[in-house]
Amino acid sequence: MEMEIQKAERLNIIGHLAASVAHEIRNPMTVVRGFMQIFDKETFIPDNKKVYIKLMIQELDRAEGIINDYLTLARPRLEKMERIAIKEQMDSVMEIISSFAMLHNIRIQHQMGQEDLHVKGIPEKLSQVLINLIKNAIEASPEGQIVHISAYRTEEKAVIEIKDQGIGLSQEEIKRIGTPFYTTKENGTGLGLMVCYQIIKSMNGKIEVFSEKNKGTQFIIKLPAVD
């Protein structure tokens, strides 16, 4: 019994350490990203060089995404839930994801039905879910494709759909996604979907998946809507 408690305590400490290291690393990254964006707007840098700046921003975002995913898994959830406006949240997500989409030559079309759609949760965590799902959709899509995002309300649920016409998933693959470290990508972590499921569950919601091999995939997030 004593051993069990010590072990739990140790795991707790490791979780906290991981969280604070991740936090400390994110700060300098944010500073670097800010200067990169300034360079991206400079007129003395030719467009064919700005591609590299966009790549640097994208790689920073990728590192940040990985840190966030690990952080979500390491840190006990003690943060306060707040009211989140889906439309505003989606706008800030689009800002983060648009250069990634552009580099993959994918267009994102989003349709935000009701202006006043709200849910309860931690805004950064919901962003993380949306970013993970939209990134997956982009990565699964051949160049030139469109990723469709829509949000609407059905009775007491806020629904967000992310739909691609990419490589799709077989029934076998659908069973495996979201399990730790399952990835089919060369530099994937296989943590993204697991984190998504965990966050949405903590918000009392669920994620549904519909997919067909070589046709495309649709992820549907259903959360309790709040007024």
For residues 105 and 99, give the distance between their C-alpha atoms in angstroms, rounded to a whole number. 10
CB of 18 to ligand ADP, least distance (A): 19
CB of 219 to ligand ADP, least distance (A): 7
Query: Which of residues 137 and 200 has its CB atom nearest to ligand ADP in the complex?
Result: 137
**Residue 97: φ, ψ to 5°:** -90, -15
CB of 181 to ligand ADP, least distance (A): 9
Contact between 192 and 70 (Cβ < 8 Å):
no
Residues at the contact surface with ligand ADP, assessed by CB under 6 A: 132, 136-137, 140, 164, 166-169, 177, 182-185, 188-193, 217
Tell me: does residue 136 bind Mg ion (CB under 5 A): yes
CA dihedral of residues 123, 90, 31, 196 (deg, nearest 10) = 60
Helix ranges, 42-184 (H) = 47-74, 86-103, 123-140, 171-176
Please identify which residue in the block is written with the tokens 């998946």.
209
Query: Which of residues 154 and 187 has its CB atom nearest to ligand ADP in the complex?
Result: 187
CB of 167 to Mg ion, least distance (A): 13
Q: Which stretch binds Mg ion (CB under 5 A): 46-54, 81-89, 130-138, 205-213?
A: 130-138
Query: Which of residues 118 and 222 has its CB atom nearest to ligand ADP in the complex?
Result: 222
When binding is defined by CB under 5 A, the residue of 65, 121, 166, 192 that contacts Mg ion is 192
Size of the site for Mg ion (CB under 5 A): 2
Q: 109: which strand partners?
A: 148
Query: Which of residues 151 and 219 has its CB atom nearest to ligand ADP in the complex?
Result: 219
Query: Which of residues 10 and 185 has its CB atom nearest to ligand ADP in the complex?
Result: 185
Distances in Å between the alpha carbon of 131 and those of 97, 125, 126, 127?
Answer: 7, 10, 9, 6
For residues 203 and 120, give the distance between their C-alpha atoms in angstroms, rounded to a whole number. 7
DSSP 166: S
CB of 221 to ligand ADP, least distance (A): 13
Binds 72: which of Mg ion, ligand ADP, none (CB < 5-8 Å by kind) = none
DSSP H helix total and E strand total for the chain? 6, 7
For residues 188 and 225, give the distance between their C-alpha atoms in angstroms, rounded to a whole number. 32
HSE of 214, CA atoms in CB hemisphere, 13 A:
0
Query: Which of residues 57 and 191 has its CB atom nearest to ligand ADP in the complex?
Result: 191
Residues that bind Mg ion (CB under 5 A): 136, 192
